[in-house]
């Protein structure tokens, strides 16, 4: 028979009065669960049970609850193993919630049992216990539960897999090499899940993680940046300050980042919120120069736009050179050539044009030529002809005015 509500009321005075059949029906309606958390109702006999075990479902429930109360996790796990093996019909859903109502500390014992025998409990119930473990700072229990949920199709809003993966990676070192693991896990979890409710200084947070396991800092910083902008837009100024502190920490401690995603995100969010971003451009250029990050078009282009819009002319040339390290669009070439024309930087213009001619995917047009012509005035005739021959391959030809400017009313063309 099923565990009676009367039995539960007797064991757990604060348990809900919901009937077992109703709880079972709710369990069957769980969204993302391959099977029910309740064992099948095949009969069991006293003769088939090991010596000393209860003889009825109610007694099994009583025994399990008492073991959880006394924090005898290993014995509770063995009892659940026997219940599952013998198909004894216990409603683990109802037992779990009754236990948690009495004390949230019981979550930790149940987490151990659930991780040991995940098939006995619905994923929904294990997920609930996982959240409880995070809330009670039982990160080891949360990670063990995550091992059984990681491959299931659970919405990100229900399970933050990147956070759990990071907490697991953080602990993936010999115990003697870990320093302040639990505190580091707490600070990261607080920032990601609770928007830094503890108001921890960013440098303090990263120093704690670094002391615990420095190898995970790049992935940790990426997760922190990603989590920052789940906050309302009104808080983005503060979050951008946090991101700036994270990237400054990387520069200060020579921590290389695998890609430019953090910078790309910072430029995007600053633009959306109409906030200044020049400090991010400076950090980006400094980290590129220090070989702590490989430049990319996705970060270099918005960085250059910020430098121009926020009037930092001394940073334009290094920003263009950084942009040239990656792929460029025709619009980017036009911008660079225009700046070279305005600044009189013929050397950089030649480098831009050389990169353009070596990029088969970019087709120049009339505007490209119009930006090149002023930079060619006074150049040797053979150099001018070589440039015009390149444009002719794309059916782009100088206007009469441009031709006259290049060849000094036609006299230079006869040389």
Work out the number of other CB atoms within 10 angstroms of the CB of residue 405.
15
Residues 173, 354: Cα–Cα separation, whole Å: 49
pLDDT of residue 52: 58
Both 49 and 132 in one domain: the answer is yes
In the numeric block, which tokens belong to residue 268?
A: 């995007």
Structural domain contains residue 156: no
Q: Which region, left, alpha or beta, applies to residue 178 given φ > 0 means left and ψ of -120 to 50 means alpha?
A: beta
Looking at 228, 250, 278, which one is the last position of a domain? 228
Structural domain contains residue 218: yes
Domains: count for the chain: 3
pLDDT of residue 55: 64
pLDDT of residue 56: 78
Structural domain contains residue 92: yes
pLDDT of residue 140: 96
Both 9 and 37 in one domain: the answer is yes
Structural domain contains residue 314: no
pLDDT of residue 28: 35
In the numeric block, which tokens belong to residue 374?
A: 């002023």
Both 201 and 130 in one domain: the answer is no
Nearest to 258 by CA among 302, 208, 219, 200: 219
pLDDT at 125 over 50: yes
When mean pLDDT is compared over 122-131, 168-177, 373-382, the highest value belongs to 122-131
93-107, 245-259, 262-276, 297-311: which range is least confident on average?
Answer: 93-107
Instruction: Write out the residue range of the structural domain in which residue 199 sits.
Output: 161-228
CB 133 within 8 A of CB 143: no
Nearest to 369 by CA among 343, 405, 326: 405
Both 61 and 36 in one domain: the answer is yes
Structural domain contains residue 306: no
Structural domain contains residue 181: yes
Q: Which helix (H) or strand (E) holds 250?
A: helix 236-252
Both 176 and 63 in one domain: the answer is no
Residues 183, 169: Cα–Cα separation, whole Å: 15
Looking at 193, 211, 228, which one is the last position of a domain? 228
Both 12 and 121 in one domain: the answer is yes
Looking at 146, 179, 202, which one is the last position of a domain? 146
Structural domain contains residue 250: no
* Angle at which helices 278-289 and 297-309 cross, to 10°: 130
Structural domain contains residue 83: yes
In the numeric block, which tokens belong to residue 324?
A: 């040239």
Nearest to 169 by CA among 214, 115, 226, 132: 214
Check residues 21 and 160 and name the one with the higher pLDDT. Answer: 160
pTM of the predicted model over 0.85: no
Both 64 and 105 in one domain: the answer is yes
pLDDT-derived band of residue 216, with 50, 70 and 90 as boundaries?
very high
Both 192 and 103 in one domain: the answer is no
């Amino acid at each position: 028979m099923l565990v009676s509500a009367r039995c539960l009321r007797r064991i757990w005075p604060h348990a809900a009065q919901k009937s077992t059949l109703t709880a079972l029906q709710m369990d069957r309606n769980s969204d993302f669960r391959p099977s029910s958390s309740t064992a099948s109702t095949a009969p069991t006999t006293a003769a088939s049970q090991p010596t000393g075990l209860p003889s009825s479902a109610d007694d099994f429930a009583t025994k399990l609850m008492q073991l959880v109360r006394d924090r005898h996790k290993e014995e509770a796990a063995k009892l659940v193993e026997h219940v599952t093996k013998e198909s004894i019909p216990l409603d683990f859903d109802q037992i779990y919630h009754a236990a948690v109502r009495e004390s949230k500390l019981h979550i930790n014992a149940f987490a151990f049992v659930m991780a040991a025998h995940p098939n006995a409990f619905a994923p929904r119930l294990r997920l609930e216990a996982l959240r409880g473990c995070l809330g009670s700072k039982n990160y080891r229990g949360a990670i063990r539960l995550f091992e059984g949920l990681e491959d299931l199709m659970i919405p990100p809003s229900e399970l933050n897999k990147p956070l759990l993966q990071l907490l697991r990676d953080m602990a993936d070192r010999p115990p003697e090499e870990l320093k302040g693991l639990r505190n580091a896990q707490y600070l990261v979890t607080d920032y990601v899940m609770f928007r830094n409710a503890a108001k921890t200084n960013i440098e303090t947070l990263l120093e704690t993680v670094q002391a615990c396991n420095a190898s995970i800092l790049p992935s940790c910083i990426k997760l922190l940046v990603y989590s920052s902008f789940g906050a309302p837009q009104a808080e983005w100024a503060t979050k951008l300050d946090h991101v700036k502190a994270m990237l400054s920490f990387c520069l200060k401690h020579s921590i290389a980042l695998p890609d430019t995603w953090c910078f790309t995100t910072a430029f995007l969010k600053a633009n959306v919120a109409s906030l200044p971003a020049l400090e991010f451009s400076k950090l980006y250029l400094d980290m590129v120069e220090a070989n702590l990050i490989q430049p990319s078009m996705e970060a270099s282009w918005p960085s250059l736009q910020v430098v121009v819009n926020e009037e930092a002319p001394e940073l334009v040339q290094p920003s263009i050179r950084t942009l040239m390290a990656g792929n460029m669009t025709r619009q980017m070439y036009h911008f660079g050539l225009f700046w070279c024309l305005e600044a009189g930087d013929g050397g950089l213009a030649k480098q831009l044009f050389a990169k353009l001619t070596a990029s088969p995917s970019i087709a120049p047009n009339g505007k490209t030529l119009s930006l090149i012509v002023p930079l060619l005035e006074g150049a040797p005739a053979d150099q001018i002809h070589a440039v015009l021959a390149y444009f002719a391959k794309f059916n782009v030809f100088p206007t009469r005015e441009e031709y006259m400017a290049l060849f000094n009313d036609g006299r230079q063309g006869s040389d």
